[in-house]
Structure 1
Amino acid sequence: MNMPSNVGSADRMLRIGAGAALIGLALAGIIGPWGYIGVVGLATGLFRFCPAYRLFGISTCASARR
């Protein structure tokens, strides 16, 4: 199955950064286990695909808007 990219560069960096920060804070014990929700942001940033964006017909990827 080929998933088209729907997460653009700026969106991707924000997702990866926020996801990694949440995971790091959860691992350090600064925030509770809910911080592991950062895995979702990290995964969607790394794979450049967001199922919620597809559901709502959203794309921040420049190549998908053409």
Structure 2
Amino acid sequence: MNKDRHQLTPTPVRIPLDVKAPLQAAAKANDRSLNGEILSRLRASLESKAPAAQKGNQQ
């Protein structure tokens, strides 16, 4: 990333507690912040799968 992380525009997301609690536990186990854990998982899912738009066109 070229921008400093503090210059990024926040993106508020509502996360249900049944999803947030395991994310918080994983973040602690991985020595990350909750934000870091969410970003890591999002990046991994985007790298391992084709974009949804491409998948939809294959049907």
Report the structure, 1 or 2, having the larger helix content. 1
Q: Looking at CA atoms only, which structure, 1 or 2, has the larger radius of gyration? A: 2
